[in-house]
């Protein structure tokens, strides 16, 4: 099945940090895929901007290399690739200096959407925003895109919001959380709000608990210096896991549009209870035969930063009172596996013999690998021999259900960049959401800093520290397996 692609309006997209890792690995390969899919109109342009002096031709060579390396199979279509590269231009600019800005102002076209991707360190957001205005480059409709990390606590997030607000209205600011751009995450909303089946069960009468797992197999590798000042809570929970939790837990918005969805997400964050110390488990991966420990990789032998965290969270409202939300994320775990699992309660009474607890309905929403949704239901094992029950998933794997190898499904960055051009903020974080998320996160971090909490060591390739297993075991529950 070939998906329907609606071209977006003509645009000039300037990528500050256009020579950086994110631009070469994600943004430009993503734009190339949209170009190939026919979504970029003929006069759309992408302008890379960074301090390095080079001309447009050298920039195209650099991006060609990036797309060939990171663009997957489609990058072998050399005709399309060369046509795409012709859309690229480059301007040498220092975000904190004055050179290059007049040139950029001169090449921006009137009458097309103007978007500015700040793919640079957050300390440059202010200087960029200021100069875009000083030189008359950003008009009233211009959009800016910013990346995580959006602050490292409430205070710094507020300061960043204020910096951006000095030059742009909230409707112009697109804070990316690429988890929200995933096909499955949107499908979660389609499943919840497009079917009559689930919403009546989506509450503390029928849901026993919810698990959100984002497991990675990689360590901190080259990012050790940055990561050691951040840790799993700031790097993953405050943003990605929190966003997933909001979408799972929010009330039905009155319409699927930005303000309504973001209002409902914000209410969830406000309703999160403070987390008790014994509902938090932090871990750090140890060395193993093949690889260094976290501390070695981070270059900090006395580091107390967590590369793993598990939290038992609770939402204080009528829908979710008493339902635990278990969140867990970590590096160097058994498999690359991200899943939201809604685990329903046991039957009130079973008419069958045997262990009824084994037969729980679970709605599993897989973000990676193999994006899709499974609803585990109990059926009779086929064949003679009496009534034996088994659990089987009703499988909605997108790759098989929606297109040959899932090729037509855009990846998160592609979708989100096209949403910026369309002016659709539904899948982006609003400033007040980010601040509320930090307001919940800050006391948790302050708590373990006060207690001088030392993360528990765990073996690379495991499911994290044993204490994380106990977080559920002591309540008669168990984590779902981490498997690739």
> Is residue 317 within 8 Å of 303, Cβ to Cβ?
no
Measured from the CB atom, the residue of 235 and 374 that comes closer to ligand NAP is 235
Among the residue ranges 50-58, 68-76, 132-140, 355-363, the one whose residues contact ligand NAP (CB under 6 A): 50-58
Residue whose CB is nearest to ligand NAP in the complex, by number: 20
List 167, 178, 209, 240, catalytic entry? 240
Nearer to ligand NAP, 19 or 303 (CB): 19
Neighbours of 11 (CB within 10 A): 22
Among 11, 39, 116, 147, which residue sits at the site for ligand NAP (rule: CB under 6 A)? 147
* Residue 51 interacts with ligand NAP (CB under 6 A): yes or no: yes
How far apart are alpha carbons 352 and 358 in whole angstroms?
12
- Distance from chain centroid for Cα 243: 8
Q: At closest approach, how far in Å is the CB of 265 from ligand NAP?
A: 21
Q: Which of residues 94-133 bind ligand NAP (CB under 6 A)?
A: 94-96, 119-122, 124
Q: Which is nearer to ligand NAP, 49 or 258 (CB)?
A: 49
Residue 52 engages ligand NAP in binding (rule: CB under 6 A): yes
240 belongs to the catalytic site: yes
**In whole angstroms, how close is the CB of 468 to ligand NAP at the nearest point?**
25
Extended beta strands in 347-435, E state: 362-368, 372-380, 389-397
Burial of 283: CB neighbours in 10 Å, binned 0-12, 13-18, 19+? buried
Told to check if 56 binds ligand NAP by CB under 6 A, we report no
Using CB under 6 A as the binding rule, whether residue 148 contacts ligand NAP is answered as: yes
Alpha carbon separation from 311 to 17, 60, 62, 237, 293 (Å, rounded)? 35, 45, 42, 9, 23
> In the bound complex, what is the minimum distance in angstroms from residue 18's beta carbon to ligand NAP?
6
> 135, 136, 36, 50: which is closest to 87 by C-alpha?
36
Q: For ligand NAP, which residue of 3, 9, 21, 141 counts as binding (CB under 6 A)?
A: 21
Rounded CA-CA distance 258/367 in Å is 22
- Closest distance of CB 295 from ligand NAP, Å: 22
* Cβ-proximal residues to 210 (8 Å cutoff; 6+ apart), any chain: 245, 248, 249, 323, 324, 325, 326, 340, 341, 342, 343
Query: Which of 7, 10, 20, 461 contacts ligand NAP by CB under 6 A?
Result: 20
- Given candidates 11, 12, 19, 215, which one binds ligand NAP under the rule CB under 6 A? 19
**What burial letters (b/e) apply to 455-470, b meaning 16+ CB within 10 Å?**
bbebebebbbbebbbe
Nearest in space to 31 (alpha carbons), one of 49, 17, 11 = 11
Positions marked catalytic: 240
Contact residues for ligand NAP (CB under 6 A)? 16-23, 50-52, 93-96, 119-122, 124, 147-149
């Amino acid at each position: 099945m070939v998906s329907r692609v609606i071209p977006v309006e003509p645009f000039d997209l300037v990528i500050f940090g256009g020579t950086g890792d994110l631009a070469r690995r994600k943004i430009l390969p993503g734009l190339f895929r949209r170009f190939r899919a026919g979504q970029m109109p003929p006069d759309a342009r992408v302008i890379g901007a960074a301090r390095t002096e080079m001309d447009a031709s050298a920039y195209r060579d650099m991006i060609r290399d990036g797309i060939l390396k990171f663009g997957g199979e489609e990058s072998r279509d050399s005709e399309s690739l060369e046509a795409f590269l012709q859309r690229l231009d480059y301007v040498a600019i220092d975000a904190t200096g004055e050179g290059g800005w007049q040139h950029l102002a001169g090449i921006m076209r009137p009458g097309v959407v103007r978007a500015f991707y700040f793919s640079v360190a957050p300390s440059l957001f202010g200087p960029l925003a200021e100069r875009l205005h000083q030189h008359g480059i950003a008009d009233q409709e211009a959009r800016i895109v910013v990346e995580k990390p959006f602050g490292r606590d409430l205070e710094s997030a507020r300061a960043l919001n204020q910096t951006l607000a000095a030059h742009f209205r909230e409707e112009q600011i697109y804070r990316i959380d690429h988890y929200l751009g995933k096909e499955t995450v949107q499908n979660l909303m389609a499943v919840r709000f497009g079917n009559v089946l689930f919403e009546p069960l989506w509450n503390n009468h029928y849901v026993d608990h919810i698990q959100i797992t984002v497991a990675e197999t990689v360590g901190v590798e080259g990012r050790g210096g940055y990561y050691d000042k951040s840790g799993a809570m700031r790097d993953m929970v405050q943003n990605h896991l929190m966003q997933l939790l909001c979408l799972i837990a929010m009330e039905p918005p009155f319409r699927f549009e930005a303000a309504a969805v973001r209002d409902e997400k914000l209410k969830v964050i406000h309703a999160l209870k403070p987390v008790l110390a014994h509902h938090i488990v932090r871990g750090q991966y140890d060395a193993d035969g093949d690889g260094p420990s976290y501390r070695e990789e981070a270059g900090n032998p006395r580091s107390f930063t967590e590369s793993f965290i598990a939290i038992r969270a609770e939402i204080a409202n009528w829908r979710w009172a008493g339902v635990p939300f278990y969140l867990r994320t970590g590096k160097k775990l058994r498999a690359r596996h991200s899943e939201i699992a809604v685990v329903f309660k046991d039957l009130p009474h079973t008419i069958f013999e045997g262990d009824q607890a084994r037969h729980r309905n679970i709605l599993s929403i897989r973000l990676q690998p193999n994006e899709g949704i499974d609803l585990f239901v109990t059926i009779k094992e086929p064949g003679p021999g009496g009534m034996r029950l088994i659990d089987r998933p009703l499988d909605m794997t997108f790759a098989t259900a929606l297109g040959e190898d899932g090729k037509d499904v855009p990846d998160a960055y592609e979708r989100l960049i096209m949403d910026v051009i369309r002016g659709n903020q539904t899948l982006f974080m609003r400033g007040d959401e980010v601040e509320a998320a930090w307001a919940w996160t800050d006391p948790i971090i302050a708590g373990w800093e006060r207690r001088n909490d030392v993360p528990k060591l765990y073996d690379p390739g495991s499911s994290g520290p044993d204490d994380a297993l106990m977080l559920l075991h002591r309540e008669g529950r168990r984590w779902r397996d981490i498997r690739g």
